[in-house]
Amino acid sequence: AVVSTQSTGTEDGTDPTHFISLDSPDYTDSEFRPWMDICYVEATEPTPCEDGQIVMYPVNADTYLAQDGLIHGSDSYMYVGNSGWDGYTRALVDFDISGVDSTMALVTPDTSVYLRMWYDGPEMGKPYNDPKQMDRQLVAHTVLTQWDESTATNKISTVSGSNKVSWSEPMMGAGDDYSEDVESSVIISESEGPQDVWFNLTSLFSEWLNETQGDLGVVIKDSLHESIPGYFLKFGSNDNSDETMRPYFWICQEKPTCEPEDGEPMYIEDTKGCVSVANHTLNYCVAKNGPCPDDESVVDLDGYMYGVTAMWDEFH
């Protein structure tokens, strides 16, 4: 069967001079039957946090290094890749591990911590002949050199007083300024549009938490086509006016224990006036027990906060 699209006339009222014939799905030669070409990319997202609680932690600092030698720590976007005359770029993202409770436990040892970055699409730098958008494999490496978003450039990592501290080589040196080991990788295909991008940093985060690895963040770079001109990959930074575009750490952590288990009854004398007589909205747990931080005469209950806002009675 052949489907013909015929019209009794054209838009200007004249008789048509050509017709278009389209083969139907029943055509004898399968090569000429209509078909649809669908290109899709498998998304990598965090494993569902079913046995814990999800906490999103903001990043401490971010910037990107470019061949222009400028400081980009307060820019609204970060760029990774290569765009012709502008050369290649790399992004730096830092996390302050001191803001995390040292007793915090991850639900799983390999899929509990992800760096989420908002990919805002490709962007061309300076005009370039025949720019090509291509698949780019982004990788995250552990940073080994101290850096500061307010001073970092392609040559300078930080400034100490009047002294400028340089990277081991321009754009950071492998093995010196960042580890050559890949912590996580993500492929962004040329046809992909804006979306969340997730880097699994569970292993590295555990090292930060256990103080077996210095917390200096990660560098995100293109490991596939960094030297090939094309388009930059554009990511929202921590200074973006749209909070939904800012990077953050997605962490699936164990829920806190809210009540002591098998604890013996004990009295705590409120000699410092810590207990409030007013009503208060409490935090995640029903209430927190604990003495004043400067009262050394009482025993602190393990895992519970100082500064009591509520006390249990004999009926608990």
Question: For 155-179, what is the HEC assignment?
Answer: CEEEEECCEEEECCCCCCCECCCEE
| pLDDT for the residue numbered 314 | 44
Question: For position 298, what pLDDT does the model report?
Answer: 41
Q: Which two tokens stand for residue 137?
A: 């494999």
- Residue 144 phi/psi, 5° resolution? -110, -10
Average pLDDT over the chain reads: 79
Q: How far is CA 175 from the centre of its chain?
A: 23
Encoding tokens for residue 77? Answer: 């976007």
Q: What is the pLDDT of residue 36?
A: 66
Q: Which residues of 98-111 are buried (b: 16+ CB within 10 A; e: fewer)?
A: eebeeeeebbeeee
Task: Provide the Cα torsion 235, 241, 242, 248; round to 10°.
Answer: 60
CB 180 within 8 A of CB 174: yes
pLDDT value of residue 14: 77
Contacts of 297 (CB under 8 A, 6+ apart): 269, 271
Q: Cβ of 129: how many Cβ atoms within 10 Å?
A: 7
Q: What is the pLDDT of residue 85?
A: 75
pLDDT in tens, the chain (316 residues): 444 445 556 677 777 777 667 777 777 777 777 766 555 445 567 888 988 889 999 999 999 999 999 999 999 999 998 887 778 999 999 999 888 887 789 999 999 999 999 999 988 876 555 566 678 899 999 999 999 999 999 999 999 999 999 999 999 999 999 999 999 999 998 878 899 999 999 999 999 988 877 789 999 999 987 888 788 899 999 999 999 999 999 999 988 665 445 556 666 565 655 555 554 444 444 444 444 445 444 444 444 444 444 444 444 4
Q: Are 244 and 119 in contact (CB under 8 A)?
A: no
**What whole-number distance in Å separates Cα of residue 315 and Cα of residue 150?**
55
